[in-house]
Amino acid sequence: MVSQQGSFGFRHRSAENDEDFTDQATTVDDLYKLIKAGYGTEYIVPANDSVVNWSDLTGQTTHMPGMNEPFRWDIDDDSEDEDLDASNGDEIDVNEVRFTEGSAFTKLHLEPRRIPEDTITPLLKRANSEDLQNARAIVKNAISQSSKLNKARLAMPARNTYGLNPGTVLGSGRVRARNDTTNQDIPPLLKITDQIAEAAALVAEADAVAMTVNMTKRAVAVSGTYWMESLSRKGTVPWGNDPSYVVFRNVLDYGAVGDGVTDDTKAIKSAMTDGTRCGEACNGSTLKNAIVYFPPGTYLISSTVPLPFGTQVIGDAINRPTLLATPSFIGLGVLSTDEYTGTGGTGIDGGDPEYYVNTANFYRQIRNIIIDIKQISQGQEITCLHYQVAQATSLQNVELVAASGSSQIGMFAENGSGGQISDVTFTGGGIGIKGGSQQFTAQRLTFNGCTTGVQVIWDWGWVWKSITMTNVDIGFKLVGDNGIGVILENVALSGVGTAVADTNGKTLLDGSSTVIYEWVLGPVYEGSANSRNFSGGGKIGNYRRHTALLNSDGAYFERAKPQYESKAVGDFMHLKDMGAAGDGSTDDTVAFQKALYASLGKILFIDAGSYILTSTVIIPPGAKIVGETWSQLMASGSYFKDASFSNPKVMLKVGNAGDVGGVEIQDLLFTTRGATAGLILLEWNILAASAGSAGLWDCHVRIGGATGTELTPAECPPVTSGINQGCSAASLMMHLTPSASGYFENMWLWGADHMIELYATASEHAVYYQYNFNGASNIFAGMLQTESPYFQPTPSPPAPFEAVVGKFSGDPDYSCVATNEFSGCDESWAVIIKNSADIFIAGAGIYSWFSTYSQDCIDTQECQKSLMLLDCNFANIRIQNLVTIGTKYMAVMSGEGILAIDNLNVKAHPYWSQISILDVRSNGAQFNELIWIDPAIWEMDQPQFTCSPPCNVKIPPWTGATSTVNYPLLTVSDGTWTSTITKAPLTITEWVFGVVTLTHDGTINKNKRQGFEGFWPVLATTPYWPAVVYTGGLDGLPTTTAPTVPFPTPPPSIGTGAPAPPSGSWPKRFVQPVVGTSDSPWVNECAYFDFDCKGSPFYAGEGGFPLNDPYGDPGDDDENSDDLQTTCPIETTSTSSSSTKTTMTSVTTSAAPAPSPYETGNTTNNTVSCYGRGETTEHTRMVNAATSFCNSIENDDLVEGYFRSIDFPYPYNGGLGTVSITVSLKIKVKCAFKYSLNLCLKYLSIPTDSCNCNGINGKQGGIVSNNCFEFRSDPNINL
């Protein structure tokens, strides 16, 4: 018999009879069942071979009558399925069937069809020759129109418009809003009707069959091994009013085949839109989010597939599926998040009518997908991805493939407002990325064989990180109608003709270098608000990347979002299986906490839903959490309502203070229900055990602005006077505590400015500030994006949170004076950075769009006074690509303002200002400017290291030689008492070298600057003799002293021809420095003995071999030593004064059991008084001073009335004076200290570790005392 899909022969034979099925009336499904049962074989012939000529399959036809009639090939078959009678005892094996291919037989594994055959798209089985001719005519006409419109749109891309965001209403109030008219003449795109889509699908199948050289059975998509496809699904949409709604939809369940021949466009669109999702005229909604999943396979697409709002397109992470555009593809992008209605007129934001407002196109993901457009006919300007997105969006592990030498584009992003793309490869085509957006973070991108890698049509802040370009004509082409600042750093080039070209194609940077270490175009400020310069390209300043932030290749550390490819379904636990409801009303606090601990060792899957949490939930170290379409964790109830100074409460606490380990969290939304003014949504306490082990990916905070939050415009309408009572939603969105560290990629913290029922990190609409870096260090930030609250200054901050001013360290004090423009008393700070070091911000877009909901202030830059506060910082803080809108001062740095008008980038609405590099002023007291080279270099055949010039380098001590030095005779006296002290000769086993400064110009001067030629390090002069302790004098108390004569001068050279040491040898080869982007190999500061780390005095033995163990022997502790407070406690404030005349904060530790004898001190009564002011120093120095002090009192009589104070000077302080650390011990009446090095160090660790808790350094010391002892550690500056 002959069918429209092929030729089938059926005959069932048994011992009893021969049965012929060829005359039975069967459906296609029945035929396949017979094949699977072994009753026949399939002989593949061209589809519709009996009625369609080959020429018709490939040729173009003219317009035919009846083009507008419904297509009969798209009408489902009417025949009813007949049951297959398998009662003869033969079992049907659905896993194996034989197909004939010539004379060979092949066994194939078949995935059973998930839906009836007659609902699948294959259209050729229903079409005749006339249908195909009609379809070709429609497609030809559509391609002609679409090509013209695409070309016009690509030449004149749409830009953002700026007015009131959607949903921002003021009740009866009038709002003056400014709308940009830039886009009025933007050409439309072709509206793809159902008729065009259906015609394109039929032609796609005909062309695909024609291109198949060997007519073999099509390889349909099969189930992959990735856990996501097989995981059971329990997700719901609590406010979607649809109990049957499908959150996870596999495209195979909607009729897709994935064989590269059957057109899957209609099936994929059905999977996208099933369940009345947010599409045309929706504007935006998270009521019905969905995952559209693609198993491995090749999915033929003939026309643009729009992606509804709230969609995650995810492919198999192990075997990525391919979305293959047909040669006759219709549309601009294969996948599109940038859809226009085509109705004309004005849209909701004042621009073209769109499905989604360009600056509010939130909540999207695309990952693990290949999009291939290289088959599309030459001459058509098509893009793999037409990508308009805003915050809370990501593109990951995607490859965009275009035809080499064509005009095709990988990604076209003509407008939008942020997002993050990572691990994307652009292969072939005219342009890899053609884009313009307010702010974007693009990292780990690879461009292969593109004519142009990146064409920037406009931008405020794109962060380009970890970019590789191979065989690309032009790397970055800057095209636009305004000035564009560009910063390239660590970009790898191979076969690139021009690295950077301007608007007219002029070469700004050629492609001769294999690596662009740093190249800056635009305005720069180097440490002063009054030092504006313009860079036409090249390296700026001497900023050094802190080695703690770098990977082994010298680039800033990154970690891609974990996808758990090696895990099986059994490695996951469902939250809903642990008793949580996720229905938006049930209290799931207990169930969630139980699930977190029960799932340790596995991965906790947070099924889609809204989980009510009414008290604090702790996420323990080791937890791994995966959400489903941004599962919502929602704080609710009276526990979170009290915003008073002492009572804010945390919803999610990631680890407890002091926890070290790993945590992985992804795809969650942290939100609220009702007024929760005392809420801290997320507190991050955990210290990552290794780089990236504690991280968060694609997680966001949303406060209000959605159904179910009870904080929508209906409950909390915008007002232009007073305060909406009951609408104060949270105290803090996220708190990264002093002891914590973490990796955060694509995180958006949003206090909703509009209803959405409608990267990269962002924080918006908080009252005090959006980001506050207080005493922070070792931070890399990709793109920071902020917006000030639209209602301010009515009321102005700190209202309505006056009661909690000063609750968190580093908060503004709001000492407001009308004439002070730098007080932050008019509107929220976008970014505060104080008392910090080693911070790199790769991009910052910080905006003030409104003044009490009016936008008249934007173009005059009067919405607020200043957006960024920079004060009292240390070295190595750099901000790149800073863009501001609506503010008079872009930043206030050390009391001086940087005017926005001085850096105006455009002279049209919205009049934005831009700075390419802002190096923040340092107070000069930074210690870690030195690079401490790893002693491992001495084990190399050729000792060498890499650094980025200029470099201040510490060469590790040489330990291959020894020598002895006679210790001078010491004469000591006290009144009439005199004595002479003799010491044995000192043996030198570690030879310390001086600091070497390396520059790139090869100059050598008295400051030991030199170029990058090989050198022999110069031995450092020992600044002072080791001290000794003697007991004598009239008082009989221990006394520390040291010789005052200079220490012998070391050999002037250890190089070629230098005299050999008394024992051992000098290094055989010189040290070779190498210019690079990173410092390698390196160790932590003071990892080996050096005079810059040791105070004076130090003791014999400390310079020739490792110091005594600072923790001592475990057996010599005081019985209550565990009660010593060595981490930052909860503070209660009071004040007292110290000998340094500074103000201190007194902290009392909590009482604990196990009392100690009175005579030795009761550690449970310890009180810590922290010096809050004065000189700061490094943690390492505080520890070394404490160690030296504790060693020095070992032989003292530590009884009542004892007092001893020693000053430990340090000669190096970053160029500003020297630091001296005073350490003392006082023993009170009726007390005695039983000497223990460990116990002594524990006492002195308290004013080091329990004070100045904003970072490892910046220590100012303090006093710890109890009923018997008073230990003091106090750094002071000597100028």
152-155 contacts: CB < 8 A, separation 24 or more? 152/187, 153/186, 153/187, 153/188, 153/189, 153/332, 153/414, 154/381, 154/409, 154/412, 154/434
Residue 247 lies in a domain: yes
Residues 866 and 1010 in one domain: no
pLDDT bin (cut points 50, 70, 90) of residue 1116 is very low
Output 715 or 611, whichever has higher pLDDT: 611
In the block, tokens 């390492």 appear at 1180
1215 and 1154 share one domain: yes
pLDDT at 169 over 50: no
Say what the pLDDT of residue 794 is: 84
Cβ-contact 221, 259 below 8 angstroms: yes
Do residues 251 and 347 both lie within one domain? yes
1015 and 906 within one domain? no
The token pair at 230 is 């097989």
Most confident segment among 24-38, 342-356, 1031-1045: 1031-1045
Closest to 880 in 3D by CA, of 851, 904, 906, 845: 845
Domain boundary among 758, 793, 810: 758
For residues 460 and 442, give the distance between their C-alpha atoms in angstroms, rounded to a whole number. Answer: 14
What residues contact 462, with CB distance under 8 A and at least 6 apart? 435, 437, 439, 440, 441, 442, 456, 843, 881
Q: Is residue 251 part of a domain?
A: yes
Give which of 628, 631, 680 is closest to 654, Cα–Cα. 680
Q: What is the average per-residue pLDDT within 644-657?
A: 84
Same domain, 939 and 910: no
The top-scoring range by mean pLDDT among 460-469, 755-764, 1060-1069 is 1060-1069
- Please report the pLDDT score of residue 351 as a whole number: 54
Tell me: do 450 and 319 sit in the same domain: yes
Q: Please indicate, yes or no, whether residues 67 and 82 belong to a single structural domain of this protein.
A: yes
Q: How confident is the model at residue 1148 (pLDDT cuts 50, 70, 90)?
A: very low
pLDDT value of position 930: 79
Is the confidence at residue 291, as pLDDT, over 90?
yes
Q: Which of 315, 493, 324 is nearest to 395 (CA)?
A: 315
322-336 vs 383-386, strand pairing mode? parallel
Among residues 860, 1053, 817, 830, which one has the least CA distance to residue 958? Answer: 1053
CATH code for the domain in which residue 901 is found: 2.160.20.10
Average pLDDT over residues 516-538: 88
d(C-alpha 927, C-alpha 552), whole Å: 23
Classify strands 1072-1075 and 383-386 as parallel, antiparallel or unpaired. Answer: unpaired
| CB 163, CB 178: distance < 8 Å | yes
Q: Among candidates 271, 308, 399, 325, which has minimal Cα distance to 143?
A: 325
Question: If we measure between CA atoms, which residue out of 816, 990, 929 comes closest to residue 1178?
Answer: 929
Token pair of 525, please? 């400020």
- Is residue 1090 one of the residues assigned to a domain? no
Q: Say if pTM beats, i.e. exceeds, 0.85.
A: no
Quick one: 915 and 944 in the same domain?
no
Per the CB < 8 A criterion, the answer to whether 513 and 491 are in contact is: no
d(CA 357, CA 350): 10
What's the pLDDT at 571? 97
Q: What's the pLDDT score for residue 139?
A: 93
Could you tell me the strand order of the sheet in which 986-988 lies? 986-988, 961-965, 1063-1064
> Which of 869, 897, 923 represents a domain boundary (last residue)?
923
Decide: 360 and 283 in contact? Cβ < 8 Å: yes
Instruction: Establish how many alpha carbons lie within 13 A of residue 128's alpha carbon, considering only the half-sphere containing its beta carbon.
Output: 3
Q: 297-337 pLDDT, tens per residue?
A: 999 999 999 988 889 999 999 999 999 999 999 999 999 88
**1200, amino acid identity:** E
Question: What is the dihedral angle through the alpha carbons of 850, 854, 860, 864, rounded to the nearest 10 degrees?
Answer: -40
pLDDT tens readout for residues 484-517: 678 887 788 999 999 988 877 788 899 888 888 7
Q: Let me know whether 200 and 133 are in one domain.
A: no
Local confidence band at 38 (pLDDT 50, 70, 90 cut-offs): low
pLDDT of residue 219: 62
How far, in Å, CA of 12 to CA of 33, rounded? Answer: 13
Q: What is the pLDDT of residue 622?
A: 95
What is the distance between the alpha carbons of residues 1245 and 1182, in angstroms, rounded to a whole number? 8
pLDDT: which is higher, 420 or 635: 635
Question: Do residue 236 and residue 340 come from a single domain?
Answer: yes
Minimum mean pLDDT among 185-189, 300-304, 989-993, 1039-1043: which range?
185-189
Q: Is residue 536 part of a domain?
A: no
Average pLDDT estimate for 701-707: 72
Q: Is the pLDDT of residue 1133 over 80?
A: no
Dihedral sign from CA coordinates of 168, 173, 176, 182: positive
Q: Looking at 99, 117, 141, which one is the last position of a domain?
A: 141
119 and 166 part of one domain: no
- When mean pLDDT is compared across 53-67, 1016-1030, 1252-1266, the lowest value belongs to 53-67
Q: What would the mean pLDDT of 860-868 be, rounded to a whole number?
A: 92
Q: Tally the domains of the chain.
A: 6
What mean pLDDT, rounded, does the chain reach?
77
Range of the domain at 1230: 1114-1278
Any domain includes 1098: no
Region 1155-1178 average pLDDT: 74
Contact by Cβ (8 Å): 1246, 1168: yes
Residue 738 lies in a domain: yes
Residue 1083 is assigned to a structural domain of this protein? no
Is the per-residue pLDDT at 1091 higher than 90? no
pLDDT > 60? residue 1004: no
- Residue 542 inside a domain? The answer is no
Closest Cα partner for 701 from 725, 656, 732, 674? 732
When pLDDT is averaged across residues 513-528 and rounded to a whole number, the result is: 87
Q: 591 and 468 share a domain? A: no
C-alpha atoms less than 13 angstroms from C-alpha of 782 in its C-beta half-sphere: 29
